[in-house]
Amino acid sequence: MMNETSYLLSFRIPSSIFCVVNHYVLYIQTLSKSSFGFDKIGPYCASFLLYVVSNLRRNLQARGSNLVVRVNKPPAILLELAKVVGADPVYSHREVSHDEVNVDERVEQC
């Protein structure tokens, strides 16, 4: 089984080669309250999220890969991962809800 460090270091390859780093960043603000004072995600949703991410990691590890999991602000984490693996440029998917779109915009500015 490949640990996260060796998984990330395996991507230190020439820039002419395209590679994908499997990662999941839990934005810490997701666990906070909304501007109306409600939890952004409830306990059942949080539990399901942890289950899904851990299941994805196990499935990737069973196939000889891994999943880098971080909790923080996505722009900072993606910039860190890009530096570790020497990635330039970095591609990401687009979110659709208001809060996630705002985070995406901050990621693009990095």
Q: What's the pLDDT tens digit per position in 15-51?
A: 556 677 888 888 887 778 888 888 888 889 889 999 9
Query: Would you place residue 13 in the very low, low, confident or very high pLDDT band (cuts 50, 70, 90)?
Result: low
pTM over 0.75: no
Q: Summarize the confidence of residues 43-72 as an average pLDDT.
A: 92
Structural domains for the chain: 4-109 (3.40.50.620)
Question: Taking 60 as the threshold, does the pLDDT of residue 74 lie above it?
Answer: yes
| Cα angle, residue 60 at apex, residues 89 and 50 outer, rounded to 5° | 95
Asked if 21 and 82 count as a contact pair (C-beta separation under 8 A), the reply is no
